[in-house]
Structure 1
């Protein structure tokens, strides 16, 4: 029997044309959600979403057709009773009402487009791309709960089409991680970071240079979690960070094309990990054997005897890292004098953190000499030595966004050796509770500061007001 090519291909061509038309419409709707000037916190946006029904209804993907024909709730009008004679409604409030209504209408059109696209199957490949775009837009507008629902659906469809281990799902998983950070779902973030790493390891050799940025990002995440965690198992995060950054450094050695600054950043994180590791000893490492994410990058590290050596070798490893940073900075022809100065200052900070003041001053004095010889000496001196600095200063540079950090504000004297005294705690206030204030005072008393310098020498600073992170 002869089959007509015309009759067999025409429906398929029409379907592809229809799908492409719907996809263009859907992407246009996604872009229409980018409403300039919308700035709101996650909490306020999600409360608004719940109040308007967005959190429960407007992101349901396969909603029955009856829902689409439901009458739309009009935007609330300004309450004229509360306005003083001769005044006008709050323009900002009206703007927000208009934007909310536009968002509701766009999401309603979006549901309709998704239903039409679903007519060609609930797992159409291009649906994942469109849902990812919408999820990104929702996330960027602070609608985090709705964004996660949409992004999870996008990833599910992607995995159905491309497989469980396809790297094409990585951008979606990364967006989910960022959304969970904004919602303070830190355990979920840690779990999904582990999934992301395993996904890359399924597609790349463990020594592949493309893994370096991810390993570095994960190490920084565990350092941040170590500071926020107040439990006895917080050391697990240092175990993980150590294995991850060591794996990144190993990969960097096999990547001669890696630029100098990227290599320096890895060494800075290495020193930071060893600083925190040196503060633990004995059986404090025992819980690290049970950490679900510790063995992901360096399985050989998982033994109590080897982990315990972190406490004893922390200073030496950090010192070596800073020496390597100085060497890299000085050898790099494209490196600016500012980077070399930074390397010497941070090496001095390292020695000061371990109460080795004489060695610290040697590095500070070398940095001071380089600043004096620079044509930007006044600016650089103000940047590095014009006021006391809470250590480790490297943390403020490497810390990821989205992390809620309580800050201590205090007025205190700081000696020429970087010791605090005469502490007057301004924040947290007495209303915050005695426990929090005790933690704040303990943090300051145990802290070390880079002292202020005058005429090339460290000097005492009286009544210095400083804001520093409260480490739990």
Structure 2
């Protein structure tokens, strides 16, 4: 069993060394930057009361009271609160430059009236970071969110959970800049803070554990995600027993990692989207992990047992709705199909249909699940990369239209490209890629049947230079 543990010494070093903005480090009056400033008291004020701001005073989401608060604050002579409210109004309406100006004025007033370490600095700095994020200036946004974290730590402590909101924003910015190592370090530190706060084995840690595991899945660290889901199963069993319905979620998540190992996320179709848009897997998997996985035999039986156990828990639980039980059975049938267990897949699909009919569901509901092929894996090649330069580059939406058949075994056959724009750019790669597609076939009279003439349009973004545009116009 793989266990995931954050090494405290490494995380402590990371926390002390990262996100210490030069702008604050250079002006700090404290002899030791890891300690609160020695001169003067500071009040941990989260921001204007009732502003409707996010956790710890950071502006986020709609604020229906902002206009009233702005008027009240201005009328009372509280310039800082008035500027906070004004900045929030501008931010909500997408006027990021005006919001930035208001946040900066508020920050100046806070520092003049209360000093550089008052907690209201955190609110203003985070607001500035959010404004720069809205202006797509990720570097400035990172710098100001980093300053917000630094001041917050000086007031609340190195491992206080109040910083997590801002760390989430910084993680997002690193991801937008494709700085996956930095983003992962922040995610791991946030999880470590939650562990310190809630306990490693407490049931309350499960949401943070799932969040960390989802990040690992997004970044291709499937084995690390699997270790966390195994830990989640242990936590639920320890506190609630081996037959508790709360085991369903970690068991399903655990099984999914085995499916992802065989069919990486870039190949997994979104089942809820009929156009088969592809689930984003985030950045490419880490090379070392990818090599490790190539030499690791996928223990199919472990994932199967986890999924079977989750299905049994749902079938045996009196409070689980029939629709949820059917969905669990269909998911298990899909698993069997993808792992080439044809007989088990057909038997499980049959059990799902029988359960639906026994519950009195209309035949239309059965048809919705089994009346047409459903894409389980539909590999799509990546879109063309943008050029390294941006001057004069134009963005276009291209497409490739295809027609294909799905066999009664769920395989794609007789693929034909019927139209493409631009012709020849993605046709060959798409044709080669989708040959590996897997479907749940349609059923006629409860028997799998072939389907002919399936249509799909794949859309993608591509780039041209002005001279290419001229050449294309001349050709037409």
Range into which the TM-score falls when normalised by the shorter chain: 0.5 to 0.7
1:422 and 2:448 matched:
no
After the TM superposition, which parts of structure 1 deviate over 6 Å for at least 4 consecutive aligned residues?
Answer: 140-143, 257-261, 287-291, 406-409, 467-470
1:198 and 2:192 matched:
yes
CA distance in 1, matches of 2:305, 2:170: 37
The CA deviation at 1:211 is 2.4
Q: State how many pairs are aligned.
A: 350
1:251 corresponding residue in structure 2? 235
CA distance in 2, matches of 1:25, 1:258: 55
The CA deviation at 1:25 is 2.8
1:33 corresponding residue in structure 2? 90
1:166-181 mapped onto 2 (5 Å cutoff)? 166-181=160-175
SS at 1:214 equivalent: helix
The CA deviation at 1:134 is 5.6
Q: Which of the pair is proportionally richer in helix?
A: 1
1:454 and 2:454 matched:
no
The CA deviation at 1:360 is 0.3
CA RMSD of superposed structures (Å): 4.0
Of 231, 239, 245, the match for 2:223: 239
SS at 2:372 equivalent: coil
TM-score normalised to the size of structure 1? 0.63
Unpaired runs of 5+ residues, structure 1, are: 1-11, 39-98, 227-236, 281-286, 295-303, 394-405
**Does structure 2 conserve the Cα–Cα contact (< 8 Å) formed by 1:274 and 1:318?**
yes
1:337 and 2:327 matched:
no
CA distance in 1, matches of 2:311, 2:431: 35
Instruction: Go from structure 1 to structure 2 and tell me whether the alpha carbon gap of 1:445 and 1:392 turns closer, same or farther (over 3 Å shift).
Output: closer
1:401 corresponding residue in structure 2? none
Instruction: Go from structure 1 to structure 2 and tell me whether the alpha carbon gap of 1:332 and 1:159 turns closer, same or farther (over 3 Å shift).
Output: same
1:34-433 mapped onto 2 (5 Å cutoff)? 34-36=91-93, 38=94, 99=95, 103-119=96-112, 120-132=114-126, 135=129, 147-182=141-176, 184-226=178-220, 237-256=221-240, 263-277=247-261, 311-313=297-299, 315-391=300-376, 410-425=402-417, 433=425
**Does structure 2 conserve the Cα–Cα contact (< 8 Å) formed by 1:34 and 1:137?**
yes
The CA deviation at 1:207 is 1.7
The CA deviation at 1:453 is 1.8
**Does structure 1 conserve the Cα–Cα contact (< 8 Å) formed by 2:406 and 2:451?**
yes
CA distance in 1, matches of 2:360, 2:399: 36
Instruction: Go from structure 1 to structure 2 and tell me whether the alpha carbon gap of 1:425 and 1:247 turns closer, same or farther (over 3 Å shift).
Output: farther
Instruction: Go from structure 1 to structure 2 and tell me whether the alpha carbon gap of 1:360 and 1:140 turns closer, same or farther (over 3 Å shift).
Output: farther
Deviations 1:21-68 (A, max 9, x none): 4552343134212444x5xxxxxxxxxxxxxxxxxxxxxxxxxxxxxx
SS at 1:33 equivalent: helix
SS at 1:458 equivalent: strand
Instruction: Go from structure 1 to structure 2 and tell me whether the alpha carbon gap of 1:332 and 1:420 turns closer, same or farther (over 3 Å shift).
Output: same
Unpaired runs of 5+ residues, structure 2, are: 1-39, 49-77, 265-284, 379-397, 461-476
TM-score normalised to the size of structure 2? 0.62
Deviations 1:290-337 (A, max 9, x none): 66xx9xxxxxxxxx8xx8995241x10121122112112123322111
The CA deviation at 1:192 is 1.9
SS at 1:423 equivalent: strand
The CA deviation at 1:205 is 2.9
**Does structure 2 conserve the Cα–Cα contact (< 8 Å) formed by 1:272 and 1:318?**
yes
**Does structure 1 conserve the Cα–Cα contact (< 8 Å) formed by 2:405 and 2:414?**
yes
CA distance in 1, matches of 2:454, 2:201: 48
CA distance in 2, matches of 1:426, 1:145: 45
The CA deviation at 1:366 is 0.8
Deviations 1:151-184 (A, max 9, x none): 2221111112222222221121123223444555
The CA deviation at 1:111 is 1.3
